[in-house]
Amino acid sequence: MTVSPLSKPEGQSRRSDYLRYLWQLGQADLSSFPVPPWRQQLHHQAGVLLQAQAIPGPQEEEWRATSLAGLLELEWTAAQAPQVITKASPEAKVWSGRVGDLLAGDECFRGLGDLAGLGEVFTTLNAACFTTLTVVRLQPGQVVAAPVELKFAIPPGVVTFPRLLVVAAAGSSLTLLEEYVSTGAGPSLTLGVTEVYLEPGAQVSHVRLQDQGTETYHLGRTLVSQAKASRYQGCTLDKGGQLSRHDLTVCHQGPAAQTNLAGLTLARGDQVSDTHTAIIHAHPQGFSRQLHKGIIADRAQGVFRGKVVVPQTGQLTDAGQLNRNLLLSSRARVDTQPQLEITADNVKCTHGATVSHLLEEEMFYIQSRGLDRLATEQLLLRAFAAEIIQQIPLASRRLALMADLTFHL
């Protein structure tokens, strides 16, 4: 049974109806295959919560800068699992498939949902609806040298619920590429959840590339848990989507964890690209550095909300955050808001945000050396973007992304 939400008037009831519409699409897909009991239980719990929830509106703090009103106009043919294209060495033991194919008591999915607890509406919706699962699980001390590459390919016309679980056991090391692409033109809706666990001393370098079509809606959440002395290096690039939203939360669950986040938002046309991050330094001697950059062209809109939380238990935390934005047209917009919530008294925390245009003096200096205006602009923009792209630990991707970086101003 499917209800069309489109005839409903704007407002709270329309947003709750639209959520139920998405949920029913997901249920229809889930019921077409056998589902193991653990999955049924999660599905049920999520379903109870969804009864009281709705697609968030502008009055909700987390969605103040980004409107989902356009989403409520869209209808989907079905919910469909993403195609997951995996490239990994056999030692990496990547499991990807239908949840029904997992055996009861299988260790594989242990930890699933612990981090992405239910509550937030899209996490809950994903929990209620995902039908396939991708798991990367490293053994203690295992070092996987070759990067694990996961490409989530999403067809037009559907709503999809990607779900990824990464568990890096104590002392293990992994480089992971998580990539979202569209297989054709036209709108689609991606509601993904990724959970990454770093056990004591684990090291994970995690690259997330979102390059879906410009008519798509992409709402993704990444949740990272870091145990004692683990190191997480996150590099994100968001360049696709009519509306793209990425929520990244990193929580230190043990002392002396290190986090390094680098992010780049590229938005043009009438794209809206929103990044919300939170780093929670709940244990002492944590370290984090974050650099998020945005290049916003045309009539596009960029949003960055970066939260750094240091509760009383986070003494001797060293946290630094910087958000830099370049606006390439007079109609481009950026909404940036660093947010420090510090209770501990012996910490070092810095933050900053800049919004600027290309500087005429820089342009003139370069032009006076013989480069024309277009080449000068490209040189400056590439330099601005390169600071993030150079941090991607996959040489081939780095080169391809740099080669692909052209801006039509």
Partner 1 sequence: MLIEHSETILAVRDLTASVNGIPILNGLNLEVKAGEVHAIMGRNGSGKSTFSKVLAGHPDYEVTGGTLTYLGQDLLGMAPEQRAQAGLFLAFQYPLEIPGVSNLDFLRLACNSRRRYLGLSELDPLDFDDFIQAKLEIVEIDPAFLQRSVNEGFSGGEKKRNEILQMALLEPRLGVLDEIDSGLDIDALRIVAKGVNTLASPQNSTIVITHYQRLLDYILPDYVHVMEAGKITITGDRSLALELEERGYAWTEDAPEPLEIA
- The minimum distance between CB 361 and partner 1, in angstroms, equals 6
Q: Copy the structure tokens of residue 268.
A: 């043009």
Closer residue to partner 1, CB minimum distance, 331 or 373: 373
10 binds partner 1 (CB under 8 A): no
Joined tokens for residue 374: 């277009």
CB-based contacts of 288, cutoff 8 Å, min separation 6: 250, 258, 259, 260, 261, 279, 281, 308, 317, 318, 319, 320, 321
| Residues 84-103 close enough to bind partner 1 by CB under 8 A | none
Residues 154 and 194 sit within 8 Å (Cβ to Cβ):
no
37 touches partner 1 (CB under 8 A): no
* Cβ proximity of 227 and 115 under 8 Å: no
Give the CA angle between residues 100, 104, 106 to the nearest 5°.
Answer: 100
Q: Which of 91, 107, 364, 400 binds partner 1 (CB under 8 A)?
A: 364
Report the alpha-carbon angle 388-146-100, nearest 5: 100
Name which of 84 and 379 has its Cβ closer to partner 1.
379
- The nearer residue to partner 1, 77 or 367, going by C-beta atoms, is 367
Q: Which one of residues 367, 399, 400, 409 is an interface residue with partner 1 (CB under 8 A)?
A: 367
Give me the 386-405 binding string for partner 1, x by CB under 8 A, dash otherwise: xx------------------
76 binds partner 1 (CB under 8 A): no
* Residue closer to partner 1, measured from CB, 342 or 363: 363
CB closer to partner 1 out of 382 and 398: 382
Q: Please list every residue from 279 through 298 that binds partner 1, using CB under 8 A.
A: none
14 phi and psi, to 5 degrees?
Answer: -65, -40
Q: Of these, 186, 362, 404, 409, which contacts partner 1 (CB under 8 A)?
A: 362
Q: How far apart are CA 379 and CA 276, in angstroms?
A: 29
Q: Give whichever of 93 and 382 is closer to partner 1, judged by the CB atom.
A: 382
Coil, strand or helix at 392: coil
Q: Does residue number 369 form part of the binding site for partner 1 (CB under 8 A)?
A: yes
Spatial separation of the C-alpha atoms in residues 133 and 129, rounded to whole Å: 11
* Residue of 361, 395, 396, 403 that binds partner 1 (CB under 8 A): 361
List the alpha helices (DSSP H) in 9-66: 12-30, 37-50
d(CA 161, CA 215): 18
Task: Return the residue of 60, 270, 341, 372 that touches partner 1, per CB under 8 A.
Answer: 372
Compose the 132-161 pattern: x for residues touching partner 1 by CB under 8 A, - for all others: ------------------------------
Stretch that binds partner 1, among 19-27, 90-98, 269-277, 378-386 (CB under 8 A): 378-386
Amino acid at 233: Q
CA atoms within 13 Å, Cβ hemisphere of 188: 30
Site residues (vs partner 1, CB under 8 A): 360-362, 364-373, 375-376, 379-380, 382-384, 386-387
